[in-house]
Structure 1
Amino acid sequence: MYFDACFARLFSFSGLAVSVALLITTTTASAVDLIDVRDFESLSQLAAERSQREYEPAPELPEPLASWQYDDYMKAKYRPERATWFDQGLPFWLETFHRGFVQTDLVELFTLNPSPSGDPISQRIAFNTNDFVYDAPLNAEEIPPAGHAGFRIVGPFPNRPDAQEMLSFIGSSYFRGRSGDTIYGASARGLAINIAMMQEEEFPDFRAFWIQMPAADSDQIAILAFMDSPSLTGAYRFRLVPGNAVTRVKVQADVYYRDRPEKIALAPLTSMWMWGDGLKGPPKDNRPSVHDSDGLLIQTGPNEWRWRAFARQSYPSVTSTEVESLHGFGLIQRNRAFYHYDDHNARYDKRPSVWIKPDSPWPNGRIELLELPGAHEGIDNLAAYWLPPEEESAPDESANETDPSVESAANPGSAVAAIDTVSEPNGATEPPHPSLQFAYEVSFFAGDPPEHNVLGRATNLSVTRPKNADEPIEMEIRFAGPVLRGLPAEHPPSIQSNAIAGEICEEELERTDEGDWILHLGVTLAENNSGERPVELSLQLISEDQPVSETFGYLLPPAEPEFVYPAVYTRQE
């Protein structure tokens, strides 16, 4: 389903609109146009120059595309044989997305083709109605030259004969990938601005892409993207390396502020969790779990892992995890058993985990998790992202302030530097230095990251609420892993636990025949919590003063959250 990313625009909270100070347009010594982009350096120059101009919104979607409904959009079908590079014996080719319905964004597409001189030649991919089949009542002659909504990379995974979709860019700065062993699920974004605040979120858009023509024997493909928004511009480079077990996308970015945002989030991820472990679904839907991801995983050291299982509240919730050294984080689809979902159509058991790994650890920031109630499984209701140190994220007029969480031109190895322009004697203005520079890898694979293979992992969770409010809430958390399997029943690990707004009144560990350990908990509310606040739980298994499990975190609602489900779940109008 290609609409999840666009529906995820609903992440923004209602509130006051952001006031953006627009900069006066300046004349640069050598302006770069879209057709002039050849590599990342020229793209970064373009972004720098555009940051000195006033932001120009994209043109609105014309009719009849603006009036299309879902069924109309699905009747405009791309012809695979019309794909760019389809018949040239190359490992990858490009298919475009039609505009219409919720796909309102306009993007310009270019290919970068080799030339005898060695410099790539930029060639525009023009919109053409001949690229699509329009089923009745759509009429190709009534379709305006509206341009592209996005594109996807198609080709065979290694040693597999059939061509598959590998990576797609559609909607704002969203992109979605998969490995050969998985299907599409959670999405990544280029950047998030003012997310999870009491004001409207600003969504930066990828406005243009340049896709480098691969060699016939290449196992990867490079993509350049220009980002634009009222607050900033950006130059992005993506390098896709598809694989059957793991698909990797290397990301490099130069970001230039027009007006420094109040809050900027790096490497944001979005996903969906409707119900599953700890929360029952609607009475007339028999699927035990419905989600693209079942937890947030954070790596803070070589053998330091934190896991937060999702718990959908009936209201928006934001949790924050302070991190001194971020080695990686991601939205993980840990449970791979079909019976856990029992859905032959959605195949949630095949959805990928999405993992962010900085090129070098990002220090002294925090991971924020936004969980929204969500209306149905077609709408993303989760977001996780990295925030640089708070004091560096707020607007500041100092000239050379830096933030050590990402690289900057002013301070290599750190990340945020204020825009500094240099005036030339003739009155021209040199392009500014990047406000932000960062690089990371985003991976798509099944289950947990391969390096998280020693410590015990929380694989199952159950919550049983008592009929009598005076009795404790009962929880069971199952931990599995090589270290735990080596512990005999007569020497169980100890439990290091903490509760906020509640108390853990019972703790008991039980070893299974498989060598897993089931932790039985009893949780009561704190005296100052009458049931209006969830209980924040954190615990870890310890043996001989060493951790033998990841740190488990959970936001426990005192009562079963109530949701108004649509008719597709309740079977009622």
Structure 2
Amino acid sequence: MNRLTRREILQSAAGLAVLATAPIGASRAARPAGPAAGEGQPFSFKQLVERARHAAGQPYVSPRRPAPEVVQRINYEEHGKLRFKTDQAPFAELGQGGAYPVTFFHLGEFFPKTVKMHLVQGGVAREFAYSPDLFEMPADSPAHGLPRDSGFAGFRLQEWNGASDWRTQDWVAFLGASYFRTIGAAGQYGLSARGVVINAAVPDVPEEFPDFTEFYIEEQPDPREPVIIHALLDGPSITGAYRFALTRGLDRSQGVTMEVQSQLFLRQDVARLGLMPLTSMFWYGEYGRERINDWRPEVHDSDGLALWNGAGERIWRPLNNPPFTTISAFQDDNPQGFGLLQRDRNFDHYQDGVMYDRRPSLWVEPLAPLGKGQVQLLEIPTDDEIHDNIGAFWVPEGAARAGSHYQLHYRLHWQNLEPYPAENIAQTIATRVGRGGEPGKPRPADEYKFVVEFDRPSVMRQIPYGVFPEVVVSASSGRVIRAFAEPVPGGNVWRATFDLAVAPDQIAELRMYLALDGKPLTETWLYQFDRRNIVPQG
């Protein structure tokens, strides 16, 4: 997964606005799709799947890139000046057509490929064609040099057209390759999802970025019901068809859920096929060598990978900003879910007006059995917050060969935390790493101290007064010493502390949980320790 210029392009103002009191429209009267509607054609997801299946047997043709010499001049600043006119947005009229107006992104330096847009009403699809007249465009904008049929780069859905702020507030965006994102329960964009990952972090093999080349957005007059969006995927090694059912609802504090169905067809062999992929950013947290390079206590969109495996075990793996690209694989059989989460919701831990404390967590819930495979975590070194350097995805068992067909059905939960927390297991709330040793004594070389905090009042209250849980900890390298548990004053938080004696050239896979009477009290904390993650080099 390459480093990618990130979130500012899709930033949406934080905060929840009061909804207008206009009634929810139920009219489904037929009307033109928009000011640039094309000829209507019957449409169904089944047809889209068959198109993807057929395309997999044909040579790959790259999407159109109109006037590259012009598009490359539409940089980040210039792109931000090109705003779609909301009075031209399809489904903008309350009570007629769809409930969520659609606005479109212009082509630009980072989004140079044309994506075809269609609106679907009553099973009939009509292309919504690009025109420069649909955008507010400064007189000196390079975009004036583009052909009048250049096309769009992506789209977003605005809030319900009965809301007072729908013209300024959007809640989901599809833009760039197969990337998409939505705001969570706190009304803030953050991490992204993708259609598929092809050959990420494979030595001597470049990563491939398939594109959503066509979108079909269905009319949905009721804001309480899902918006249905279909997408056609195409790339040198793969084709695919996707059906997204996006539920926003009128209560914005509920976040967003997406039910996804997809069918994928391989044109070529793929070394690493990542399904249901998530992508995020982690620069540093309560730990990490980069803390000395920035004034903020923490900088990240996500702070850990959460796993709920097929055996029922709950696992938390804090993220790293490693010295080199790293893949961690978690073998499983029919996992019940995984996600990249932002558990730390305390503004004081970030001190940044871009609201890292409000970034959504994203949980993947399989709705059909996945069988055997691995959840893989990709961590890429970064020296700034502007790069997406974290990925998580499912890699099915077996070689991904040309001609293979994959069918998926899953749900994406864009919330503050995972949607199905274990009631009888405490969660990790903090990970800290420092020099090892005992107070008042010389600090030993090559010893490091780990302090991990767990919280869930309903669980921790079960610990009798004066009883201390067992710290069950192991390391693949080095030696664990001085392990103990203690309560944190003033609440129900318990802290596990241990030291690891490890050679400078060793990487240790750590595994730890708290137990009482031989039974787990907490989720399993995993961590990959490489001293280069902690100690500044050079």
TM-score, with structure 2 as normaliser: 0.85
Say whether the 8 Å CA contact 2:118–2:126 is kept in structure 1: yes
The separation in 1 between residues aligned to 2:232 and 2:8, in whole angstroms, is: 19
Q: Report the equivalent of 2:464.
A: 488
In structure 2, what residue type is equivalent to 1:533? Q
The separation in 2 between residues aligned to 1:99 and 1:543, in whole angstroms, is: 58
Q: Report the equivalent of 2:46.
A: 41
Return closer, same or farther for 1:216/1:311 CA change in 2, 3 Å cut-off: closer
Return closer, same or farther for 1:5/1:323 CA change in 2, 3 Å cut-off: farther
In structure 2, what residue type is equivalent to 1:338? F
The separation in 2 between residues aligned to 1:368 and 1:280, in whole angstroms, is: 24
Deviation (angstroms), 1:324: 2.2
Say whether the 8 Å CA contact 1:182–1:446 is kept in structure 2: no
SS of match in other structure, 1:43 = helix
Say whether the 8 Å CA contact 1:43–1:226 is kept in structure 2: yes
Alignment counterpart, residue 515 of structure 1, candidates 492, 495, 507: 492
1:513-572 deviations in Å (ceiling 9; x for gaps): 3121111111111xxxx41233211111122232111110111222434479xxxxxxxx
The separation in 1 between residues aligned to 2:462 and 2:496, in whole angstroms, is: 17
In structure 1, what residue type is equivalent to 2:244? F
Return closer, same or farther for 1:69/1:217 CA change in 2, 3 Å cut-off: closer
In structure 1, what residue type is equivalent to 2:450? M
Alignment counterpart, residue 306 of structure 1, candidates 301, 315, 320: 315
Q: Report the equivalent of 2:138.
A: 135
Deviation (angstroms), 1:499: 0.4
SS of match in other structure, 1:195 = coil
Query: Are 2:336 and 1:336 aligned?
Result: no
The separation in 2 between residues aligned to 1:193 and 1:6, in whole angstroms, is: 25
The separation in 2 between residues aligned to 1:197 and 1:545, in whole angstroms, is: 41
The separation in 2 between residues aligned to 1:202 and 1:172, in whole angstroms, is: 10
In structure 2, what residue type is equivalent to 1:287? R
The separation in 2 between residues aligned to 1:361 and 1:516, in whole angstroms, is: 36
Query: Are 2:449 and 1:474 aligned?
Result: yes
In structure 2, what residue type is equivalent to 1:4? R
Say whether the 8 Å CA contact 1:5–1:380 is kept in structure 2: no
Say whether the 8 Å CA contact 2:339–2:418 is kept in structure 1: no
Say whether the 8 Å CA contact 1:252–1:439 is kept in structure 2: yes
Return closer, same or farther for 1:204/1:284 CA change in 2, 3 Å cut-off: closer
Return closer, same or farther for 1:5/1:359 CA change in 2, 3 Å cut-off: farther
Structure 2 gaps, min length 5: 10-38, 437-441
Deviation (angstroms), 1:305: 0.7
The separation in 2 between residues aligned to 1:280 and 1:373, in whole angstroms, is: 12
Say whether the 8 Å CA contact 2:427–2:454 is kept in structure 1: yes
Query: Are 2:238 and 1:225 aligned?
Result: no
Return closer, same or farther for 1:38/1:378 CA change in 2, 3 Å cut-off: same
1:245-300 deviations in Å (ceiling 9; x for gaps): 23110100111222232321110100000011212545463210000000000111
The separation in 2 between residues aligned to 1:174 and 1:261, in whole angstroms, is: 20
Alignment counterpart, residue 373 of structure 2, candidates 365, 368, 378: 365
1:184-333 equivalent positions in 2, closer than 5 A? 184-198=189-203, 199-216=205-222, 218-243=224-249, 244-279=253-288, 281-283=290-292, 285-301=294-310, 303-333=312-342
Say whether the 8 Å CA contact 2:184–2:361 is kept in structure 1: no
In structure 2, what residue type is equivalent to 1:519? A
Deviation (angstroms), 1:142: 2.9
In structure 2, what residue type is equivalent to 1:465? R
In structure 1, what residue type is equivalent to 2:247? V
Return closer, same or farther for 1:130/1:177 CA change in 2, 3 Å cut-off: same
The separation in 2 between residues aligned to 1:251 and 1:126, in whole angstroms, is: 26
In structure 2, what residue type is equivalent to 1:541? L
Alignment counterpart, residue 449 of structure 1, candidates 399, 419, 425: 419
Return closer, same or farther for 1:6/1:56 CA change in 2, 3 Å cut-off: farther
Deviation (angstroms), 1:88: 4.4
1:473-527 deviations in Å (ceiling 9; x for gaps): 11211111121232124222222211012221110100123121111111111xx
Return closer, same or farther for 1:82/1:220 CA change in 2, 3 Å cut-off: same
Alignment counterpart, residue 473 of structure 2, candidates 489, 497, 500: 497
Q: Report the equivalent of 1:29.
A: none
Say whether the 8 Å CA contact 1:6–1:102 is kept in structure 2: no
Deviation (angstroms), 1:66: 2.0
Alignment counterpart, residue 430 of structure 2, candidates 455, 460, 464: 460
Q: What is the count of residue pairs matched by the alignment?
A: 488
SS of match in other structure, 1:259 = coil
Say whether the 8 Å CA contact 2:73–2:142 is kept in structure 1: no
Alignment counterpart, residue 436 of structure 1, candidates 406, 410, 428: 406
Q: Report the equivalent of 1:555.
A: 528
Return closer, same or farther for 1:5/1:46 CA change in 2, 3 Å cut-off: farther
The separation in 1 between residues aligned to 2:269 and 2:8, in whole angstroms, is: 25
In structure 2, what residue type is equivalent to 1:291? H
Give me the CA root mean square deviation.
2.4
In structure 2, what residue type is equivalent to 1:209? F
The separation in 2 between residues aligned to 1:166 and 1:298, in whole angstroms, is: 27
The separation in 1 between residues aligned to 2:184 and 2:446, in whole angstroms, is: 46
Say whether the 8 Å CA contact 2:435–2:447 is kept in structure 1: yes
Deviation (angstroms), 1:162: 3.0
In structure 1, what residue type is equivalent to 2:492? G
Query: Are 2:75 and 1:85 aligned?
Result: no
What percent identity do the matched residue pairs reach? 28
Deviation (angstroms), 1:75: 1.8
Say whether the 8 Å CA contact 1:248–1:443 is kept in structure 2: yes
Deviation (angstroms), 1:149: 0.5
Say whether the 8 Å CA contact 1:5–1:171 is kept in structure 2: no
In structure 2, what residue type is equivalent to 1:97? F
Alignment counterpart, residue 154 of structure 1, candidates 142, 154, 158: 158
Query: Are 2:383 and 1:375 aligned?
Result: yes
Q: Report the equivalent of 1:422.
A: none
Alignment counterpart, residue 108 of structure 2, candidates 100, 110, 118: 100
Deviation (angstroms), 1:325: 2.7
Deviation (angstroms), 1:35: 7.0
In structure 1, what residue type is equivalent to 2:209? F
Return closer, same or farther for 1:139/1:463 CA change in 2, 3 Å cut-off: closer
SS of match in other structure, 2:55 = helix
Deviation (angstroms), 1:91: 1.9
In structure 2, what residue type is equivalent to 1:133? E
Q: Report the equivalent of 1:395.
A: 401
The separation in 1 between residues aligned to 2:7 and 2:93, in whole angstroms, is: 30
SS of match in other structure, 2:51 = helix
Deviation (angstroms), 1:469: 5.0
In structure 2, what residue type is equivalent to 1:167? V
TM-score, with structure 1 as normaliser: 0.80
Alignment counterpart, residue 506 of structure 1, candidates 482, 489, 497: 482
The separation in 2 between residues aligned to 1:150 and 1:388, in whole angstroms, is: 30
